[in-house]
A = this chain, B = another copy of it.
Amino acid sequence: MNISEIAKLSGVSRTTVSRFLNNGYVSEENKKKIQKIIDETGYVPSSYAKQLRTKKTNLIGVIVPKISSETISRIVDGISNEVNKFGYNILLGNTDLNIKKEIEYLNIFKNNQVDGIILVATVITKKHLEIIKKINVPIVIVGQNIKDYSCIYHDDYNASIFLVNKLIEKNYKNIAFIGVDKSDKAVGYERERGFIDALLKNNLKVDYDLIKNGEFSTESGYKLCKEILSLNKDIDSIICATDNIALGVIECLKENNLHIPKNIGVISIGDSKISKVVTPKISTLHYHYKTSGIEAGKVIINKINNKNDDLIKIKLGYEYIERESI
């Protein structure tokens, strides 16, 4: 069933049916005729042909490192809710933490297929930037602040500073830091930088032995915590870049019969589900992940509709949630 057959059955021309479907001028009489035939036949216009003609797919390509992550899926939820309002759908590029696949998806989405791209990434390499530069649809980056590109990101630097100040306020003085590799400019680099600067501002010594970087996992948190304890440096608190890391840290501290928060305070970033559930409940910074998805959706829709390439930078804040771990 196609537009020509509908036209024939309705006794009008293809053009009129097309106009009817796209809010053009059609007489009331013809409107009724056409609607009747469409109802009877269950006709739906071919999206292929429409896309070929209009160069529009109403699709947003969303590239994510791993969909089965609490933070990522919240971001995607936000994006999806927002863009759906405007009739857009999501083409999902789940890269499984594989940078090669990330590049692959950028290439797939590059030329056509989608009207806009939202890239949720942890590490942006030169290779990424090379391809992104050549992309001819609007792009928004979530979670990282990349020069010359519109980004929705979190205030990682000040988040770390906040955590240090909070610990100091609670009389903790010898603070360790467990984060992730600095190739992740946001979670790795910025959170560590904030930590160091905050120590300096508070006239505390920066002991680089107490700054460890690993992966986004409970196991990594556990391992690095063990390493720090083996140093016998008499620390009284640990800042964890993520809740998952904090989980490993807590496990390790418990095994060593260290009481949280009496012997050692633990604090982290994320406010994930587990942070409310583990004993002790983790004092943490709530990050507005779903909001970042919503904002990214708004920005990309705007770019698509207005065709304006203004550089948009949105830095989202955080909210301190005190629980039991400090």
Contact = CB atoms under 8 A, between A and B. Distances in A.
Interface of A: 42, 44, 46-49, 51-52, 55, 57, 59, 62, 66-70, 72-74, 76-77, 80-81, 84, 89-94, 96, 101, 107-108, 110-113, 134, 247, 273-274, 277-279, 290
A68 B76 contact: yes
B96 A81 contact: yes
Given A62-B92, A73-B73, A84-B94, 4 more contacts: A46-B111, A80-B94, A274-B274, A278-B278
Given A70-B68, A77-B68, A277-B274, A90 B89 contact: no
Contacts of A42: 134
B68 A73 contact: yes
A111 B77 contact: no
A69 B48 CA distance: 32
Contacts of A47: 112-113
Given A47-B113, A91-B90, A277-B247, A77 B67 contact: yes
A78 B295 CA distance: 28
A89 B89 contact: no
A68 B57 contact: no
22 contacts: A44-B111, A46-B52, A46-B111, A48-B48, A48-B52, A49-B52, A67-B77, A67-B80, A68-B70, A68-B73, A68-B76, A80-B92, A81-B94, A89-B92, A89-B93, A89-B108, A90-B94, A91-B91, A91-B92, A247-B277, A278-B279, A279-B279
Contacts of A57: 48
Contacts of A84: 94, 101
B67 A67 contact: yes
A55 B48 CA distance: 8
Nearest to A1: B111
Contacts of A112: 44, 46-48
Which of A62, A66, A277 has the most B CB atoms < 10 Å from its CB? A277
A273 B273 CA distance: 9
A91 B48 contact: no
B51 A48 contact: yes
Nearest to A57: B48
From A48, A77, A90, A134, name the one whose CB has the most chain B CB atoms within 10 angstroms. Answer: A48
